Structure 1
Amino acid sequence: MDDTEENGGKIKLTAEEKAAEQERIVKAIAAELSLPLTKVKAAVGLLDEGNTIPFIARYRKEMTGELDENELRFVEERLGYRRNLEERKREVIRLIDEQGKLTDELRQGIVAASKLQEVEDLYRPYRQKRKTRASVAKERGLEPLSQWLLSQPRQGDPLAEAARYVDEDKGVATAEEALQGAMDILAEGVADDARIRAWVRKFTFEQGLLRTEAKDDSVESVYEMYYNYQEPVRRLPPHRVLAINRGEREEVLRVNLEVPADRIHDYIGRQLLRGGTAAAVRDLLERMIEDAYKRLISPSIDREVRAELTEKAEEHAIGIFSANLRNLLLQPPVRGRVVLGVDPAYRTGCKLAVVDETGKLLEVAVTYPTPPNNKVAEAERIINGLIDKHEVQLIVIGNGTASRETEQFIAELIKGRAREGKDAGAKLQYIIVNEAGASVYSASKLAQDEFPALDVAERSAVSIARRLQDPLAELVKIEPKAIGVGQYQHDVSQKRLDETLGGVVESAVNHVGVDVNTASASLLSYVAGINATTAKNIVKYRDEKGKFSARSELQKVPRLGAKTYEQCIGFIRIPEGSQPLDQTPIHPESYGVVEGLLRSVGLDAGQIGSETLRLKLAEADIAALAAALKVGEPTLKDIVDSLLRPGRDPREELPAPIFHTDVLNIEDLMPGMELHGTVRNVIDFGAFVDIGIKNDGLVHISQLSDRFVKHPMDVVSVGDTVTVWVLNVDLKKGRVGLTMRKPN
């Protein structure tokens, strides 16, 4: 930005002014999000009291009219924006007022603005600027000449008028220089006009054309489709905006925004020019308008338009990443199996880690079955020994370097064991998992603290094994953006990405609930109200005092105060504690309601989850019970559901992952072949599906359904098990096209 200003401190408001501002903000948010005013007002009040979104969504349904987490996050985001907007309005009004230029009309315009851009447009003429051609002309005393031109006299010679301002001491040597300076002053005034800027910005969005070309079209790159490309601004899809931005940033592409300039000149002319003006004056003003647009307005508006395109594209990309991440985190755990995790590699060998049913590390090893070592017999001996010693039931292979060769080796090993009659009772299987982020975790301080005696690759093998056993518990240890289920995640605002993905992880963790006696500090830190320090204190307390037997014991944990306890405790689970309700999502504040409910049906807490309770509650009149127990119906419904299914893990209702015993090669594929696969990633133009070969196959958006699909997420989600048919195979590029439209 080429402008500077002095920012003062925040302007303090009276209680009445604060209340009025709050009312305006709540009304604006309600209108913007199409939500009832009472719901938004309640949500804002609860947020201002320091309540977390998971807590509000789950335990304050009556107050918010059952706003869900997404709606509450929208309210929170818009609340922050609106409050910043109001703060900026006050600051701008103060700065203009200090210049003695604040009019009632200008104040009203600023107060009425609904977007930050509108406020900045109104402030632009009054912003303290660095040296410009216009400011130099004003210093030379040419402002009266600019006003004479703007008055559009019916008669008069501009050169003769300008001659009056020639003054070599002031740097004005000729009448032509005087006229140029006067036109510079007018051009800046046109460029700073809020109404003109708003129109040009809108026109550029509607009529602009984004054109890209290669800086050197002889160079091969992933941006070749953009070497000679154009598309209307209004039609640019988000992923294309980010791809073009990246190509420009990497200095492969040259990007221009083209707009019909003559129509913009005409519009500005209609705002400024009048009939009957002297021809010479009109000619100067028309030249001034062209200069104002080309030199001042166009570069600025082009930057703003592209910035807005980028912002919208980033929000879209972050939204895609968020949805994919949530679905990945909520993949069903594979419980009750001893797992061998394999981190494949070539030269350095495949690192192995065996973990028991609870994820406890039993043993690590290393083998070299892949090139250049090719020690296949030795690798078979070592892995067979681990399988037999620990009764391994499942092998999990990371999808990184050497994954293909490692998979082939493991498949042959399983076949050999089958021929020898081993694993007859429980058939040994394998699965490929996305190892994105495993290396990030394994090099982190957290991993070093957890496994100080292991090297980086061994820790990675442990992470690979565990992320199948309990994806949520393991993936929370990794920075969310390092988990590879996004699109252009490195091209978006990292601060915004971190904030949003943190909210996604928080939502997923609280949706599932956390066993406080087994959870890591990483997992606990995402429970509503608990920060990293408190999470570590919980683990330390557990290590020193032993397992928690009741939720109420958490109140003894250092730094876990009353507010934190209120926010977190409903999401904490104690499966085999002294209080049966502690294994449910029922908040302790409602335990009295539960006692009353159970008394009303003649049962006690020891019978929760029983068939007897189910039958009793199936006959209950929820509305009448809610009134009698003085509790809201939504809360009572949640309580009943929790009593019927205590200890329920919502992830277990999803389909289990697909396990393999043999390798599928790309050479084996034929068009029309039917396969079952797992959705690994969903992006704007389709979905990548793991069908058991080295690279995931692509189902293009046009092949997702027989009906029109607006976005792939309307049809599939990360983790879905889908039936696909092979559409085409490109052996040279290793690409497979798939369809979910059943062939005739």
Structure 2
Amino acid sequence: MDDETIKLIKQALPAYKGRQIDVTLNLLNDNNTVPFIARYRKEMTGNLDEVEIREIQDEAKRISKLQQRKQEVLKLITEEEKLTPALANSIQAATQMQQVEDLYLPYKQKRRTKATIAKDAGLYPFAQWVLQYHSDSVTSQAVNYINEKVPDTDSVLAGVHEILAEAIGERAEFREWIRHYTQQNGDLTSKLKRNAADKDENQVYAIYYDFQSALKQLSPYQTLAMNRGEKEGVLNVKINVADDAILNYLNFQLIGRHQGPAVATVTDAYQDAYKRFIAPAIERELRHQLTETAQDHAIQVFGDNLYHLLMQAPLKNHTVMGFDPAYRTGCKLAIMDGNGKYLAKQVIYPHKPAPEKKRAAAMPAFIKLLNDYQVDMIAIGNGTASRESEQFVADAISQVDRDVRYTIVNEAGASVYSASAVARAEFPDFNVEERSAISIGRRLQDPLAELVKIDPKSVGVGQYQHDVPEKHLDQQLDRVVETAVNQVGVDLNRASIELLTHISGLSEQTAANVVAYREENGSFQSRPELKKVPRLGPKAYEQSVGFLRIINGKNILDNTDIHPESYAVTKQVLANLGLQLADVGTPAVATALKNVDPKILSQKLDVGEATLQDILSSLQRPGRDRRDEMPAPILRTDVLKISDLKPGMKLQGTVRNVVDFGVFVDIGVKQDGLVHISHLSNHFVRNPATIASVGDIVTVWVLEVDEQRHRIQLTMVAPND
């Protein structure tokens, strides 16, 4: 990466210090992963987190692509022998790809146009003459340019008009000004297409049948909704802007105070240039820009929701039953121990249309399973027959003489996992529904470990996900999964191949090799043992080892976030505190730290203060799982029906999805309730994600219930507020 490119990156990211950008780019170029840099190179980057590092990474890619295009354009214009020093400087000074394309437009090879035909007919000098605004009659001068290709004055004037209109339409400075003016002053309107009402039987797009919004005030979800309606042939969508100001600008730039016969010719040319060339191009560009911005926003919303879904608190050390509801085919049950190990499975038929005999047998069989395996948590999938199954479970646990609770689990994507190669390899002798019950139960036990086995697009927390570029969405979701997995860390002796694949530095092959080594040689006893795994080289070891935990291994530090490269300084820290390795994780560490100034200690031991702070935190809480700080799932013993809901009722619920217009909350009935953005707070909210995240436990009040349409309106603003 050359100096000019790095200079442009720094100009584009003024919030970062130049040194931070230099160091981050060097670390990335040296094949260090984003999670590794964020966790273990804090002193070098100035404490940049994953989001900030990726911003630098993405900007570097954008600028590199821009610089490459600049060189291509300069080369192409040079080959035409039309590159001037001023044009070269303008291209080099461009900071956006659109500026480069605007400057290149007049020199771009294009199909034969009316303007090029007129130039071939020898009319270009006459067009230049017109722009000199001579006092002579344009028509009288046109006679001098008549030839076999343009046999009369009308043909000459028409050709000159085309030359002028095309030249005006390709002026970069005109396009830039008009683009900016339209952005600031234009509206996007949509109308119901003539005879298209039957294409929208459910009136999905009714709000956009007669819609208008300023471009700069348009919400991303509105853009995507109108795009979809337009694609389906329901809507006509258009950008409108007052032409007068634009035409006045062109008049000032091209004519100014000039007078004479040529003024009318130039006026006709710039008006036609705007109508035929500039306005349609600007509309296409702005529609594309609006769409890209909306898509990026939708991808970001999906990513944020996925992150919070993955970071939900695990339910550890509980024997859990996964309950996959169904009517005709029966409810599939699967029991896992506190470590997620499969114990038993069964199918029961508690619902119609199952025969009476099977329904009667379902309850005692279910209670027997609960007692035989001492199940204390039940995870019920939220699909078909979910609420009937919830009633069945509530009735059953009321007959059990110990504390058993249940919760509704979002089963989105469970069927995708159940039919996948991963599931078939894990449970080859099970049918799809039985694997689904295991997945539902494990989602409650460890959401992260289970959900990484599923395509992130299938987990049901997106917004307009089918209207965004799949490649960009996949890239963002992969980043989110990588961030979540590495922030949490994994148990090296229990992690699946799918989970290990997302660990910094590991590929699918090296993750498979880790599991194969573990199965052949038994549990890892220390982190350095990883070096024995085939094809896991020094770089992969360096990048991954800090995120891999060994519980009850030979070295307690292997169950912390401390990287082995810092073990030596960690022992010095303990010695300075008067402690030993055996004291790690005991109250003795917290007691010893009361009289310690980290800044002074970091200077004494010649270690970065950020690294020292991480070491001290890990010494106090080895094996810490940051998800334990997240809200735990709501566990229930009784059933709430939509008919039980009354306006003003206060409830607790779990946030299932966050979208631009509000938040969907599971309050324990079949349908999630919507807290509209206007009811999230008693002050103005621009972005619902600033108020709630997926997995949050929130207090809500019922506003309105429409049983017929199965819609529940909620508010997070207390009635007395």
TM-score (norm 1): 0.93
Tell me which residue corresponds to 1:395.
378
Question: 5 Å matches for 1:427-506?
Answer: 427-506=403-482
Report the CA distance between 1:352 and its aligned residue. Answer: 2.2
Tell me which residue corresponds to 1:610.
586
Report the CA distance between 1:719 and its aligned residue. Answer: 1.0
Select the residue among 276, 296, 300 that pairs with 1:295: 276
Native 8 Å contact 1:706 1:741 kept in 2: yes
- Report the residue type matching 1:563 in the other structure: K
Q: What per-residue deviation string (whole Å, max 9, x for no partner) do you get for residues 106-128 of structure 1?
A: 11111111111111111111111
Select the residue among 40, 50, 53 that pairs with 2:21: 40
Tell me which residue corresponds to 1:11.
none
Question: 5 Å matches for 1:699-714?
Answer: 699-714=675-690
Report the CA distance between 1:438 and its aligned residue. Answer: 1.2
Native 8 Å contact 1:223 1:247 kept in 2: yes
Q: Distance in 2 between matches of 1:141 and 1:454?
A: 80
Report the CA distance between 1:363 and its aligned residue. Answer: 2.5
Native 8 Å contact 1:688 1:699 kept in 2: yes
Q: What per-residue deviation string (whole Å, max 9, x for no partner) do you get for residues 432-490 of structure 1?
A: 11111112212221112112222222222211111110000001111122221121122
Report whether the alignment pairs 1:264 with 2:246: yes
Report whether the alignment pairs 1:115 with 2:99: no
Question: 5 Å matches for 1:295-444?
Answer: 295-373=276-354, 375-415=358-398, 417=399, 422=400, 424-425=401-402, 427-444=403-420
> Compared with structure 1, are the counterparts of its residues 357 and 185 closer, same or farther at alpha carbon in structure 2 (3 Å cutoff)?
same
Specify the SS of the correspondent of 2:158: helix
> Compared with structure 1, are the counterparts of its residues 671 and 161 closer, same or farther at alpha carbon in structure 2 (3 Å cutoff)?
same
Q: Distance in 1 between matches of 2:269 and 2:707?
A: 61
Tell me which residue corresponds to 1:178.
156
Native 8 Å contact 2:323 2:380 kept in 1: yes
Select the residue among 689, 699, 712 that pairs with 2:665: 689
Report whether the alignment pairs 1:254 with 2:264: no
Tell me which residue corresponds to 1:3.
none
**Gapped regions of structure 1 (runs ≥ 5):** 1-17
Native 8 Å contact 1:437 1:483 kept in 2: yes
Specify the SS of the correspondent of 2:698: strand
Tell me which residue corresponds to 1:228.
210
- Report the residue type matching 2:268 in the other structure: R
Native 8 Å contact 2:10 2:16 kept in 1: no
Specify the SS of the correspondent of 1:548: coil
Report the CA distance between 1:173 and its aligned residue. Answer: 4.7
Select the residue among 166, 173, 191 that pairs with 1:188: 166
Tell me which residue corresponds to 2:31.
50
Native 8 Å contact 1:26 1:41 kept in 2: no
Native 8 Å contact 2:9 2:59 kept in 1: no
Tell me which residue corresponds to 1:737.
713
Q: Distance in 1 between matches of 2:290 and 2:536?
A: 44
Native 8 Å contact 1:152 1:274 kept in 2: no
Specify the SS of the correspondent of 1:435: coil
Q: Distance in 2 between matches of 1:655 and 1:23?
A: 43
Q: Distance in 2 between matches of 1:617 and 1:530?
A: 36
Q: Distance in 2 between matches of 1:321 and 1:598?
A: 43
Q: Distance in 2 between matches of 1:99 and 1:347?
A: 74
Q: Distance in 2 between matches of 1:381 and 1:179?
A: 95
Q: What per-residue deviation string (whole Å, max 9, x for no partner) do you get for residues 41-100 of structure 1?
A: 221221121111111111111111111221111111111111111111111111111111
Specify the SS of the correspondent of 1:354: strand
Query: Which shows bigger deviation, 202-211 or 148-157?
Result: 148-157
Specify the SS of the correspondent of 2:164: helix
Specify the SS of the correspondent of 1:723: strand
Q: What per-residue deviation string (whole Å, max 9, x for no partner) do you get for residues 142-173 of structure 1?
A: 32332233333222132x433444444x4x45
Q: Distance in 1 between matches of 2:609 and 2:530?
A: 29
Specify the SS of the correspondent of 1:184: helix
Q: Distance in 2 between matches of 1:165 and 1:536?
A: 78
Select the residue among 617, 622, 646 that pairs with 1:641: 617
Tell me which residue corresponds to 1:522.
498
Tell me which residue corresponds to 2:693.
717
- Report the residue type matching 2:208 in the other structure: Y
Q: What per-residue deviation string (whole Å, max 9, x for no partner) do you get for residues 384-420 of structure 1?
A: 33323322222211112222332233223333x2xxx
> Compared with structure 1, are the counterparts of its residues 145 and 404 closer, same or farther at alpha carbon in structure 2 (3 Å cutoff)?
farther
- Report the residue type matching 1:233 in the other structure: L
- Report the residue type matching 1:161 in the other structure: Q
Report the CA distance between 1:738 and its aligned residue. Answer: 0.9
Native 8 Å contact 2:130 2:138 kept in 1: no
Q: Distance in 2 between matches of 1:399 and 1:130?
A: 58
Select the residue among 106, 131, 146 that pairs with 1:125: 106
Question: 5 Å matches for 1:93-242?
Answer: 93-158=74-139, 160-168=140-148, 170=149, 172-215=150-193, 216-217=196-197, 219-220=200-201, 221-242=203-224
Native 8 Å contact 2:5 2:63 kept in 1: no
Q: What per-residue deviation string (whole Å, max 9, x for no partner) do you get for residues 155-195 of structure 1?
A: 2132x433444444x4x454323322221222111111110
Report the CA distance between 1:641 and its aligned residue. Answer: 0.5
Tell me which residue corresponds to 2:543.
567
Report whether the alignment pairs 1:576 with 2:552: yes
Report the CA distance between 1:289 and its aligned residue. Answer: 1.4
> Compared with structure 1, are the counterparts of its residues 607 and 256 closer, same or farther at alpha carbon in structure 2 (3 Å cutoff)?
same
> Compared with structure 1, are the counterparts of its residues 293 and 539 closer, same or farther at alpha carbon in structure 2 (3 Å cutoff)?
same
Report the CA distance between 1:40 and its aligned residue. Answer: 1.9
Q: Distance in 2 between matches of 1:45 and 1:22?
A: 14
Q: Distance in 1 between matches of 2:502 and 2:343?
A: 28
Report the CA distance between 1:345 and its aligned residue. Answer: 2.6
Residue correspondences, number: 714
Report whether the alignment pairs 1:80 with 2:61: yes
Native 8 Å contact 1:25 1:83 kept in 2: no
Native 8 Å contact 2:325 2:383 kept in 1: yes
> Compared with structure 1, are the counterparts of its residues 579 and 208 closer, same or farther at alpha carbon in structure 2 (3 Å cutoff)?
same
Q: Distance in 2 between matches of 1:467 and 1:114?
A: 46
Q: Distance in 2 between matches of 1:373 and 1:354?
A: 23
Q: What per-residue deviation string (whole Å, max 9, x for no partner) do you get for residues 120-144 of structure 1?
A: 1111111111232322333333323
Q: Distance in 1 between matches of 2:118 and 2:332?
A: 72
TM-score (norm 2): 0.96
Q: Distance in 2 between matches of 1:641 and 1:704?
A: 35
Query: Which shows bigger deviation, 730-739 or 382-391?
Result: 382-391
> Compared with structure 1, are the counterparts of its residues 678 and 177 closer, same or farther at alpha carbon in structure 2 (3 Å cutoff)?
same
**Gapped regions of structure 2 (runs ≥ 5):** none
Native 8 Å contact 2:165 2:272 kept in 1: yes
Native 8 Å contact 1:353 1:458 kept in 2: yes
Q: What per-residue deviation string (whole Å, max 9, x for no partner) do you get for residues 238-280 of structure 1?
A: 111111111111221110111112321221121112444433x
- Report the residue type matching 2:213 in the other structure: E
Tell me which residue corresponds to 1:21.
4
Native 8 Å contact 1:210 1:257 kept in 2: yes
Specify the SS of the correspondent of 2:495: coil
> Compared with structure 1, are the counterparts of its residues 385 and 133 closer, same or farther at alpha carbon in structure 2 (3 Å cutoff)?
farther
Q: Distance in 2 between matches of 1:537 and 1:174?
A: 82
Report the CA distance between 1:521 and its aligned residue. Answer: 0.8
Q: Distance in 2 between matches of 1:326 and 1:234?
A: 29
Tell me which residue corresponds to 1:6.
none
- Report the residue type matching 2:235 in the other structure: L
Specify the SS of the correspondent of 1:153: coil
Specify the SS of the correspondent of 2:647: coil
- Report the residue type matching 2:243 in the other structure: A
Report the CA distance between 1:674 and its aligned residue. Answer: 0.8
- Report the residue type matching 1:734 in the other structure: H
Q: What per-residue deviation string (whole Å, max 9, x for no partner) do you get for residues 197-254 of structure 1?
A: 1011111111111110112246432110001111111110111111111111122111
